[in-house]
Structure 1
Amino acid sequence: MENESTADLIRAQLRRFRTAAGLSQEEFGRLVHYSGSQVSAVELGQRPLDRLFLSRADEVLGTGGLLIALLKLAERDGLPSWFLPWLDAERNARQLRCYQPSLVPGLLQTENYARVVIRCDDTLSDEQVEKRLANRMDRQAIFTKPDPPHFLAVIDEIVLRRADEGFRGIMTEQIARLIECAERPNVSIHIVPTEVSMHVGLTGAFVLARSADGGWVGNLENQLGGTVIEKDDDVATLLSRWETVRNEALSRRQSTDLMKEVVTSWT
């Protein structure tokens, strides 16, 4: 996948320039205000690529802005710059926890559902829509790799029922995909029933990724883009909120039964 090779290229170039400068990871880390272990995690793909880190690396290593330029190349594939660090974390995650109050999570979307969601942004051309759609579908490849991450999703019931007559065909297909995904041993889908009228998750969607070294990174999306969350206190808050919304949701079996019930109610 093109974006994946670009991320790998950035890490490879970072290692090459650091080594050529005769700097250990600890020495380089002090110059860019990161610890040696953080530098190691970036180079190994265990920590997401960060624009500020790469900008400092370009300055310290005298690369003429190459690392940031490579990051911009990845953006040409239709992915906004704010999303690239999260994409890197997502690819290398051992576990993903996602809460969505308004949409089916992107990693579980069908092509038809995803296209409709992306088309809601009327500033995008048809070409840009298809490019973003292709990128979204490509991200789902993490489920087919030899050692896929454990993916836990909590979705509000209203997401399933948001379907007028013209959209029900797409939504029926989408719910069938959710049920199919929920049968995989590494995927858990839990529905928060409409009877739970208020809970802390309603303030917004979020995703958490746990890397191979056990560290967590979060991602928040909003109308203007998104933010990767790495500060320990902020990540701890998101982990706490995850536990709260997860406790409001139905079990896996009950959630699957509810999804089937929604589709049956339309027919």
Structure 2
Amino acid sequence: MSVDGERAERAADGADEPGWDVDPENDSAGVVAALGHQLRLWREAAGLRPAEFGAAIGYGENLIYKVESGKRIPRPEFLDKADEALGAGGKIAAMKKDIAEARYPKKVRDLAKLEAQAVELGAYGNHNMHGLLQTEEYARALFETWRPAYSHDEMDRMVAARTARQSIFERSPAPALTFVQEEVTLRRPIGGTMVLRRQLERLLEVGKLRNVEIQVMPTDLDDHAGMDGRIQVLKFADGSAVGRADGRFAGRLVSEPKEIRILELRYGIIRAQALTPRESLAFIEKVRGET
């Protein structure tokens, strides 16, 4: 049997169910349920049974039932095919963005919204590469190290959420982005040597953008203001700011001026202690050559 034939057979018996399971505790589950309800109304208006609709768009009947009942988040191509088959004129396909965001945990969506609004972002990473700097394969390898282990579905969600945030590099006007990374994050071969090499190449690429500065904190430094853990500060066009830090504020978001000043002071000292952006790119290039 051909590959296409095997796929069709799997689709027919419900074994092939592309998409993501809905987390009932996710506050966006209602968005998925609303899509399913609208999809069922469009299908019924077209006079199609679930099996007929599934066959028309190349998916199994079981998946149609799950999507319509709000138990499965469909992939974007499912919505495109459904829109065309049902003659929805773009009304179903228009929900792709909302449905894509429904995959992500609330805290990730909240962070992405803040990053999308920020005019300045400063971040110090002491253990892992900052999420905005990670390649997709590095992010996946990093998540694979976590215990207890993520399921395949959860892994896909987390990687997709992380890479989606990186649209910040394409914004116009471009925000000012600064990152300080510990030397160890450049050397630990998460995912293997080639994954690390491509991650370092990504740093070199991003670090050459005019609105981005990447600095490296050498391991052998004897005075280090970042020993309390990660720091991130985001500033907005209206003059407000939010931040978080692992140590003093236990990773929670803070916005009081006094708290922000503490984070800005600490981050400013960390940047002063680290290698300059030019020295840092040269250092990253050196590590890449050794990898």
Residue 158 of structure 2 corresponds to 132
| Cα-to-partner distance string for 1:25-47 (whole Å, 9 max, x where unaligned) | xxxxxxxxxxxxxxxxxxxxxxx
One-letter amino acid matched to 1:150: A
Tell me, yes or no, if structure 1 residue 250 matches structure 2 residue 275: yes
Given the alignment, which residue of 94, 98, 113 partners 1:88?
113
Shift in Å at residue 78 of structure 1?
4.4
Given the alignment, which residue of 227, 234, 249 partners 2:259?
234
Matched ranges for 1:57-206 at <5 A? 77-121=102-146, 122-163=148-189, 167-206=192-231
Larger radius of gyration: 2
**C-alpha distance in 2 between matches for 1:207 and 1:179:** 21
**C-alpha distance in 2 between matches for 1:233 and 1:120:** 37
One-letter amino acid matched to 2:209: R
| Cα-to-partner distance string for 1:226-265 (whole Å, 9 max, x where unaligned) | 4211122111110010011001111111101101111212
- What is the TM-score with the length of structure 1 in the denominator? 0.66
Contact 1:82-1:227 at 8 Å conserved across structures = no
In structure 2, do the counterparts of structure 1 residues 85 and 232 end up closer, same or farther at CA, with 3 Å as the change threshold?
Answer: farther
**C-alpha distance in 2 between matches for 1:88 and 1:113:** 23
Structure 1: stretches of 5+ with no match in the other structure: 7-72
Shift in Å at residue 208 of structure 1?
0.7
SS at match of 1:184: coil
In structure 2, do the counterparts of structure 1 residues 220 and 118 end up closer, same or farther at CA, with 3 Å as the change threshold?
Answer: farther
| Cα-to-partner distance string for 1:199-230 (whole Å, 9 max, x where unaligned) | 121211121111011211103459xx942111
- What is the TM-score with the length of structure 2 in the denominator? 0.61
RMSD: 2.5
Shift in Å at residue 142 of structure 1?
1.4
**C-alpha distance in 1 between matches for 2:113 and 2:140:** 23
Q: How many residues align?
A: 193
Moved over 4 A (4+): 73-76
SS at match of 1:177: helix
One-letter amino acid matched to 1:204: G
Shift in Å at residue 160 of structure 1?
0.6
**C-alpha distance in 1 between matches for 2:271 and 2:167:** 25
In structure 2, do the counterparts of structure 1 residues 215 and 187 end up closer, same or farther at CA, with 3 Å as the change threshold?
Answer: same
Structure 2: stretches of 5+ with no match in the other structure: 1-27, 32-97
| Cα-to-partner distance string for 1:44-94 (whole Å, 9 max, x where unaligned) | xxxxxxxxxxxxxxxxxxxxxxxxxxxxx9998344334443332111000
